[in-house]
Amino acid sequence: METVTSTRGQPGSRRPAGRPPDTFESVLRSFTSNRGPGLTDVPLALDAVRILVLVVVLITVPLAQPHLGSGADGIGVAVALGVSTVSWVVWLLARRRARVAITALAVMGVAGGVLAGLSPLSTAIAVGCVVTSTVGARLNPETSLAITAGTVAAFLSTALATGAPTETLLGYPLTFIGWWAFGLSPHAFLLRAEQAERMLAESRRAREAETQAAALAERARIAREIHDVLAHSLAAVSVNLQAAEGLLGALPAGRPELAKAMECIGRAGVFTREGLADARRAIMALRDDAAPLADQLDALAGEYRADGDVAVDVTVTGTPRPVAAEAALAAYRTAQEALTNARKHAPGQPVRLSLEFSPGEIAVRVVNPLPERAGGALAATGAQYGLTGLRERAALGGGTLTAGPADGQWRVGLRIPA
């Protein structure tokens, strides 16, 4: 007794959708991004301006009082300038590492505040202004306020220790706070842009899900309607054929016309039942509860194996997955036609049916040995257009179908995107 063997993988697991990022994560992502929303070329210009500011600070601060290394204040200026420069460079290079970049900004703010307190008559204030404006625009208010407060505190403690004038003690902190407040406006814009982008994406996903659900529901409704109509009509035809067969069977035997009529009625009954089964399979392909393609081919092979004259071996390779209705129907029809042709032209010969799942497509192959004597009892039946129709069906689905002899075998192969 012939057996049907099947080799199958396990379907891939679904990755759970991640949770939407919160506000801080969204701002952090925009902080570490290479571009802002709708402003692709701006960051390059900003980087150029920041590098230019750093160069100006490095050139002008050593020229102001106190000079580098001149006394305790000069040593302090050298140390603060060095720390500011290193943290500035780390901030520019570590843009994609949010925590490192934020830490570098915090260190740069404290060092910049100390540098401005030690050298109030130079461009040292630019370091603190860059820090406070950047954190105000890119970070959440709590974090940016903490870094701004650290910058102001570092400046005030240093300025008080060096005896800075009152106007400096008041003006520099207000400048730092003003730049921080100025940066809050772009920060609010970034938040609104992030929220609008998330809402737009969620609305698009919801609309696509509703459209897909409506399409599936409509397809299921059409499938039910077609099934009911065909089932009623073909069942009525089958009943009438059976009644006609019964009436003719009651007539006196021996007349050749009667035997021919009985044969035609029997064949019509077989065609009616097969047509109804084919219609049901085609309609099931429109429904979302259709059986997997591998199971459909297993069942098809079982039907042919039950006839007793075709030995069918089924092999499934790759990881089975859901297949689009059109591709699944093309694959099923190809296997069905190839098995039918094997029964007609090579009766009793074993048949190998294989289904292969590969990325982006599926392949169906049916191979049977060529018989020693061409043809069989059923070779002359049919309209001889089966393979032509399969090629047309494959072409409509973007696939290809090949059929012909090779190495003493008849091979039928279908490859179609799925």
Look up residue 61 and give its DSSP letter.
G
Tens of pLDDT along 303-340?
888 766 568 899 999 999 988 878 888 898 899 889 88
Question: How far, in Å, are 24, 102, 136, 172, 226 from residue 142 at the CA level?
Answer: 10, 13, 10, 21, 64
Q: Is the pLDDT of residue 39 over 50?
A: no
Its sign, for the CA torsion 26, 32, 33, 37, is positive
pTM attached to this predicted model:
0.42
Predicted local confidence at residue 221, as pLDDT = 73
Q: Is the pLDDT of residue 88 over 50?
A: yes
- Tokens for 82, please give them: 């060095």
Predicted local confidence at residue 401, as pLDDT = 94
Q: Which of 242, 261, 241 is nearest to 251 (CA)?
A: 261
Its sign, for the CA torsion 74, 67, 152, 136, is negative
Q: Which of 180, 190, 64 is nearest to 133 (CA)?
A: 180
Distance CA 252, CA 385 (A): 40
Q: With bands split at pLDDT 50, 70 and 90, how would you rate the model's confidence at 22?
A: very low
| Number of residues that this document lists for the chain | 418
Most confident of 19-28, 116-125, 226-235, 298-307: 116-125
- In sequence order, which residues have a C-beta less than 8 Å from that of residue 86 and are 6 or more positions away? none
Distance CA 115, CA 72 (A): 13
Q: Which of 289, 300, 310, 309 is nearest to 364 (CA)?
A: 300
Predicted local confidence at residue 29, as pLDDT = 46
Tens of pLDDT along 40-87?
344 677 778 888 999 999 999 988 888 887 888 889 999 999 999 999
1 vs 251, which has greater pLDDT?
A: 251
Q: Is the pLDDT of residue 15 over 60?
A: no
- Tokens for 339, please give them: 């098995």
Ordered by where they begin, the domains of the chain are 23-206 (no CATH), 291-418 (3.30.565.10)
